[in-house]
Amino acid sequence: MLADEIRAGESTNIEFKVEVPKISEKYIKSVIAFANTAGGKIIIGVDDETHEIVGVDKDEVFKIMDNITNTISDMCYPQIFPNIGVDTLDGKSVIVVEIYPGASRPYYIKSLGKESGTYIRVSGTSRPDDEAILKDLELQGTNHSFDEMVCVKQKYDAEKAEELCAAIKNYMVEAARTKSDKEKVKDVTIQNLVNWGVLKNMDGTLVPTNAFVLLTDNTFPFAKIQCALFKGTERVVFIDKRDFEGPLYEQIEEAYEFVLKHINLGAEINGLVRTDAYEIPTEAIREAIVNAITHRNFLDRACVQVAVYDDRVEVTSPGMLYGGLTIEQIKEGGSKIRNRCIAEVFSRMKIIESWGTGIKRMFSSCKEYGIREPELLEIGDSFRVNLYRPSYNEIYQNVPKSAPESEPKSVLKNLNKTQQKIVDIILKEPRVTQAEIAEQLNISISAVKKSMKEIVNIGILVRVGANKGGYWQVKDK
């Protein structure tokens, strides 16, 4: 409803004007910006500060609408076809100029030219583009992607091509669930790389595309993942920092392992079964990193960044949402592929399951975990996913408050192998003796006593009853 949109105020896709500006360029910039991004509405007759509906002269409504249509036609290139209508709110007339995401990008103000007259919509404002965004818009307008373009600085390397074919097949074999399915996986050939756009056959000569470079030695300086662990909840104090380069699929694995290294690993005990579980669903972590790489703008001189804080894991990808997509649309499964060749190869490798499902799986896995849903944000000309970590009390309710403050929060994670084996034995037989444990593990009784004392001290294990006739209890959730 229009009234609801006005009450919500200006946003990335809503702009208010009390009247049509006398200098047309002031609103034509927004028309251009909407067409170059996800579309939007200019509502004329609403105060942009108070949100008060002031209306326009009812006798002039159709004349104003005609003037707007003609101005857009005269000042914008390529041609933009707005949907202009009039609505009545509180007895007053307002004009709604709706601009749809355009397919012939970039759109710009004719008199200023493409270099100076192209605008985009960022955080509720219309601002000039930069070189990387302009090139990205040009590719969108010609229905091409950066990764499918021939890399003129690189020569075809047959050995690297064969290595890539082998790597892709290895991923396909690993993804197959049964031995029979694994045996059915066929070799990946050079012709497959041509079919997927990773290589191009030009008059009988094979030439590499940008995708080939990104999937092999990857000489692009900004096509890497920067990972960092920060103290607290802000980017102030580094605890750990790594940059991952090389083939994109290797970067994904390394960044994924970096996050797992720096988040808590707890345990759930159901009956006699103990299951290790990270505090954030690993599927959501992986999807966030995969999406950041697959859909990033490689023309942007910035890296994918993965930051781990006390309260969240933050994954930031260079480049605005592609092709006019909105956050609401991608939550519902909407998908447009910025890097088609990379996506095609990742799909074959089962790094990507299927188009448009990654974000929905991310949300559903967090819901199943019972933790806060992921946060999707457009930060300037970047896209960010925040995966929130549960609080200490949510994960470790079983740990007594009297446990020594010096003990780490993720107490279960810090059990060594011997301690874990002892816990597993006790779960199966709470009345087991230390001598019996020593015999099962083939270690000395003194080693068992030392390990059990350490487990008791951190609050996981308690003795119920007397030494004779009593039993051990594992403090689970």
**Residue range 177-234, pLDDT digits in tens:** 999 999 999 999 999 999 999 999 999 999 999 999 999 999 999 999 999 999 999 9
**pLDDT confidence bin for 439, thresholds 50/70/90:** confident
Q: pLDDT per residue over 120-131, tens digit each?
A: 998 789 999 999
Which pLDDT score is estimated for 95?
A: 97
Helix (H, G, I), strand (E, B) or coil at 395: helix
- Compute the average pLDDT of residues 454-470: 75
pLDDT for position 391: 61
> Looking at residue 1, what is its pLDDT?
78
- The string of pLDDT tens digits covering residues 262-317 is 998 876 555 555 566 899 999 999 999 999 999 999 999 999 999 999 999 999 99
Mean pLDDT of the chain: 89
Q: What percent of the chain has pLDDT over 70?
A: 91
pLDDT at 272: 53
Higher pLDDT, 314 or 431: 314
Considering only 81-90, 94-103, 426-435, which range has the smallest mean pLDDT? Answer: 426-435
Confidence bin at 354 (pLDDT 50/70/90): low
Instruction: Read off the pLDDT of residues 34-68 as tens digits, 9 standing for 90 and up.
Output: 999 999 999 999 998 888 999 999 999 999 999 99
Between vectors from CA 387 to CA 476 and to CA 362, what angle results, nearest 5°?
Answer: 90
DSSP 154-213: ----HHHHHHHHHHHHHHHHHH--SHHHHHHPPPP-HHHHHHTTSEEEETTEEEEBHHHH
Whole-angstrom distance, CA of residue 429 vs CA of residue 93: 78
Structure-model confidence comparison of residues 344 and 443, the more confident one? 344
Whether the predicted pLDDT of 402 surpasses 50: no
Tokens of 112: 């200023």
Q: What domains can be seen in the chain, in order of their start residue?
A: 2-128 (3.30.950.30), 130-395 (3.30.565.60), 397-474 (1.10.10.10)
Least confident range from 145-154, 202-211, 377-386, 404-413: namely 404-413
Query: Which of 191, 204, 208 lies closest to 149, judged by CA?
Result: 208
Task: Indicate if the pLDDT at residue 443 is higher than 90.
Answer: no
pTM confidence score: 0.77
CA 353 vs. chain centroid, Å, equals 15
Percent of the chain with pLDDT over 90: 70
- Our measurement of the distance from residue 133's CA atom to the centroid of its chain's CA atoms, rounded to an integer in Å, reads 20
49, burial (CB in 10 Å: exposed 0-12, middle 13-18, buried 19+): exposed
More confident residue, 417 or 87: 87
State yes or no: pLDDT of 397 exceeds 50.
Answer: no
